[in-house]
Amino acid sequence: MMNLRTRLLLVNSLAMAFLIGALVISYWHMLLNKQQTWLLTMITLGAAILSSVAFSWLTLPITRSIRTLAQYSAQVADRIFDAPLGQVGGAAEIRDLASSLYQMSERLQESFTALEAVERTRRELVANISHDLRTPMASIQSYVEALQDGVVERPEETKRYLQTIHNETRRLSALVDDLFDLSKLEAGQNIMKVQPHRIDQVLADVFDTHRLLLSEKQIEIVANVQDDLPVLWISIEKIHRVCSNLLDNAITHTTPGTAIEITVTRLNHSIVEVSIADHGEGVETMHRQRIFERLYRTDPSRARATGGAGLGLAIAKRLVELHGGDIGVRDRDDRSSGAVFWFTLPINAVS
């Protein structure tokens, strides 16, 4: 198959042959004498030679550039994105094409990198969810088999086994609910209805729902709420979920017999901050950027031992962001062991 350069030279040769043929016909019909015909033929041949040289000189860098672009495109098709493009010359249009191809290659590389990251996250998600589902399922299965086989005879042991099965079932249900809620938040399908409400009243309701758990772990709540807090436009249910998730996290990591400090302050005329300080092992700096990602655990073995699935903080982050606020973690102000999880809410109405 002829390339571009050969085709252009062939077209040029055909044009010159047509001109020479026209001169010969003119000579046969006595339109031109012999001397005129000879002179015009020489001029035509000279023009043909000059045009052929010009065609070769002009098309050579174009064909080289096209060949270079074709080789580079083949490498991109094989997902070799770091291959050098090479020098591309010729007309400005060819250089623009090379620049566009290189930019496309960079975007493809970024897209493939993002897809690979998504695939890794998906595999980690499946692995973590499988483990979190398998653990309570295995516990339920073993206890049910023990009851079926008549291993447990005393009524108090049977009651304890049934209570464990009930707890593991609730744990499974909570995990499924968290996954469902998080998927709706990430898909933007969560509808939020806001209304004026006081944040201290939300915290009081959260304390009531956790009173038994706090008593079991012998953990006290020390609340420090600013007196002149304004009424906030919030979704009561969702901010209750945020506070509950952060308090659950604090209870999980706080040493029994200590206290959890809850502080609510107005930072300025437009922002209110809620902070929950625990007396746990704290959060290292390297984990603070990722701790609010779904299923991220600073210590997987410890988190699984305490029953955490790594979804509570991710849900809290998205709910706070829906309100136009921010969320994070920092060291305790007194530099003792533990961490302070905080979130902010705007004082103005949420649209």
In a domain, 328, yes or no: yes
Residue type, 248: D
Number of domains within the chain: 3
Q: What tokens does 52 get?
A: 């052929």
250: burial class by Cβ within 10 Å (0-12, 13-18, 19+)? buried
Closest CA to 69 of 109, 104, 98: 98
User: CA-to-CA distance for 182 and 321, rounded, in angstroms?
Assistant: 13
DSSP 97-137: HHHHHHHHHHHHHHHHHHHHHHHHHHHHHHHHHHHHHHHHH
Q: Are residues 86 and 204 in the same domain?
A: no
Q: Are residues 337 and 223 in the same domain?
A: yes
Q: Which of 186, 209, 225 is the last residue of a domain?
A: 186
> CATH code at 156?
1.10.287.130
Q: Which of 146, 169, 186 is the last residue of a domain?
A: 186
Residue type, 185: L
In a domain, 295, yes or no: yes
- Structural domain boundaries enclosing 154: 126-186
- Per the DSSP assignment, residues forming a β-bridge with 197 are 232
Q: Are residues 166 and 232 in the same domain?
A: no
Q: Are residues 171 and 248 in the same domain?
A: no
β 220-225/259-266 pair status: parallel
In a domain, 271, yes or no: yes
β 339-346/271-277 pair status: antiparallel
What pLDDT score does 305 carry?
47
On whether the CB atoms of residues 85 and 68 are closer than 8 A, the answer is yes
On whether the CB atoms of residues 329 and 283 are closer than 8 A, the answer is yes
Q: Please count the CA atoms within 13 angstroms of the CA of 97 that sit on its side-chain side.
A: 16
Q: Are residues 200 and 296 in the same domain?
A: yes
Q: Are residues 212 and 168 in the same domain?
A: no
Distances (CA, A) of 295 to 89, 124, 324: 51, 9, 23
User: CA-to-CA distance for 334 and 137, rounded, in angstroms?
Assistant: 42
Q: Are residues 41 and 143 in the same domain?
A: no
Q: Which of 90, 113, 140 is the last residue of a domain?
A: 90
41: burial class by Cβ within 10 Å (0-12, 13-18, 19+)? middle
Q: Are residues 258 and 207 in the same domain?
A: yes
In a domain, 75, yes or no: yes
User: CA-to-CA distance for 38 and 27, rounded, in angstroms?
Assistant: 10
Sequential pLDDT tens for the chain (351 residues): 556 667 767 777 777 787 778 777 777 777 777 777 777 778 777 777 787 777 777 767 777 777 777 777 777 777 776 666 666 666 667 667 777 777 777 888 888 888 887 787 777 667 767 766 777 788 788 878 888 887 777 888 888 888 888 878 877 887 777 777 777 776 666 667 888 999 999 999 999 888 888 888 899 999 999 988 889 999 898 899 899 999 988 998 888 889 999 999 998 888 999 999 998 888 887 788 788 887 676 655 444 444 455 678 888 998 999 899 999 999 887 777 889 999 999 987 544
Q: What tokens does 342 get?
A: 């905080």
Q: Are residues 334 and 234 in the same domain?
A: yes
Tens of pLDDT, residues 8-19: 677 777 777 877
Closest CA to 62 of 96, 93, 90: 90
- Per the DSSP assignment, residues forming a β-bridge with 220 are 259
Residue 24 Cα to chain centre, angstroms: 75
On whether the CB atoms of residues 329 and 298 are closer than 8 A, the answer is no
In a domain, 203, yes or no: yes
Residue type, 229: L
- Per the DSSP assignment, residues forming a β-bridge with 271 are 346
Q: Are residues 251 and 176 in the same domain?
A: no
- In what helix (H) or strand (E) does residue 342 lie, and over which residues does it extend? strand 339-346
Q: Are residues 286 and 228 in the same domain?
A: yes
- In what helix (H) or strand (E) does residue 71 lie, and over which residues does it extend? helix 34-77
- The three-class DSSP label of residue 288 is helix
In a domain, 145, yes or no: yes
User: CA-to-CA distance for 287 and 329, rounded, in angstroms?
Assistant: 10
What pLDDT score does 119 carry?
80
In a domain, 104, yes or no: no
Supply φ then ψ for residue 277, to 5 degrees: -105, 130
User: CA-to-CA distance for 22 and 12, rounded, in angstroms?
Assistant: 16
What pLDDT score does 90 carry?
60
In a domain, 71, yes or no: yes
What pLDDT score does 206 carry?
92
On whether the CB atoms of residues 182 and 295 are closer than 8 A, the answer is no
Q: Are residues 159 and 286 in the same domain?
A: no
